[in-house]
Amino acid sequence: MDLDSTATLNSGNKMPLLGLGTWRLNDRTADTIEAALKMGYRMIDTSGDYGTQPGIGQGLKQSGVRRDSYYLVTKVEEDDDAYGATKENLHQLDLGYTDLMLIHRPPREGVGEVLWQGLQKARDEGLTKDIGVSNYSVDQLKELADKSGETPAVNQIEWSPFGYSQQMLDYCKQNEIIIQAYSPLTRGERLDDETLGDIAQKHEMAPPLVILRWCLQIGVVPLVKANQPDHMRQNLRVFEFELDDDDMKRLNGLNEEFSSLSSKPMYLKA
C-alpha cells in the first residue's frame, strides 16, 4: 500500500486510500490545499456547508495537479434539491465534475429516495462520477438499496478504534460499499489513550498514525483533517509501517461506540 494505492468502488471507479478533511480548515484554505496536493494528497473531502469550497477550488488550480489526478468528494444536505445543490457545489468549486457526491445525512423522514434520484440525475449528466451517502445506519442502507434498486458506492461515517461497528463493516464488505472514516483522530480527544500510545511507541510512530493505519488495515478509507503542515506531512507516514495481528486485536478491543460529535456515532443511533 502506498499513496498511489486505490480502493475500487462498486462502479469500477477507483478512490485513493487517504483523504484530507476540510471541516474548519483554516482561512488560508487555498494555500493549505495547494500544499496538501504538492505533498502527495490525492483526495479532498468537503461539503457545501463547510464554507471551504471556493478556497478548495482555488487551491486545486494553484497546485497545477491535473483534474484526473485528484479525487474530490462533496455533499448535499438533507433539505436540498440534490441535483441543483450538486450544480451549486460545482459552481463554488469551479469544477466540471466531482468524483463522489454524498447525501450528508439521512433526512428526518424516509431514507432520502428523492435526494438519491437527484444525485442519479447528476451522475447521468456527468456532474459526478459516483454517488453515496453519509451517516446512514445498516438498516437505512438496506432500505435505500431496496427502494432505489441501487447500492450506494460509499457510506461516510464517524469511525475510529474507539467508535466503530463490526456489523457495519461486515455489511459494507458484503455489499461492496466503501466506508470512508470521518473524525478518525477523534478530533484529538483520545490521542492520549494508553494502548494507542504503547502501540505507537512499539512502531516509533505517533498515535494518530496508528489510528490511520488501523483504518487502512481493516479496509476503510480515512479522511483526516490537518491544518498544520507538520501534521499533514506526518499523516502521510501511514504507508511506512504495518500493524501486526496483536496490535490489531488490541486496537479492535478499544471500541466503546465513542463519538467526538455526539453521545455515539450517528449511524448507531438511527
Ligand X SMILES: NC(=O)c1ccc[n+]([C@@H]2O[C@H](COP(=O)([O-])OP(=O)(O)OC[C@H]3O[C@@H](n4cnc5c(N)ncnc54)[C@H](OP(=O)(O)O)[C@@H]3O)[C@@H](O)[C@H]2O)c1
Q: Is 97 in the site for ligand X (CB under 6 A)?
A: no
Least Cβ distance, residue 111 to ligand X (angstroms): 16
Question: What residues are annotated to the active site?
Answer: 50
CA–chain centroid gap for 84, Å, is 23
User: Inter-axis angle of helices 29-39 and 53-63, to 10 degrees?
Assistant: 40
According to DSSP H, which parts of 64-206 are helical? 82-93, 113-124, 138-148, 166-174, 194-203
- Taking CB under 6 A as the binding criterion, the range among 19-27, 57-65, 76-84, 110-118 that sits at the site for ligand X is 19-27
Beta carbon nearer to ligand X, 83 or 159: 159
Q: Is 187 in the site for ligand X (CB under 6 A)?
A: yes
Chain residues 39-78 in contact with ligand X, contact rule CB under 6 A: 45
| Binder of ligand X out of 9, 15, 17, 22 (CB under 6 A) | 22
Q: Judge whether 223 and 198 are in contact, CB under 8 Å.
A: no
- List Cα–Cα distances, 24 to 2, 63, 109, 197, 198, in angstroms: 27, 21, 29, 27, 30
- Taking CB under 6 A as the binding criterion, the range among 21-29, 79-87, 119-127, 162-170 that sits at the site for ligand X is 21-29
Collapsed DSSP state (helix, strand, coil) of residue 12? coil
- Taking CB under 6 A as the binding criterion, the range among 93-101, 117-125, 167-175, 220-228 that sits at the site for ligand X is 220-228
Query: How many CB atoms sit inside 10 A of residue 142's CB?
Result: 15
Sites of contact with ligand X (CB under 6 A): 21-23, 45, 104, 134-135, 156, 182-188, 206, 208, 223-228, 231, 234-235
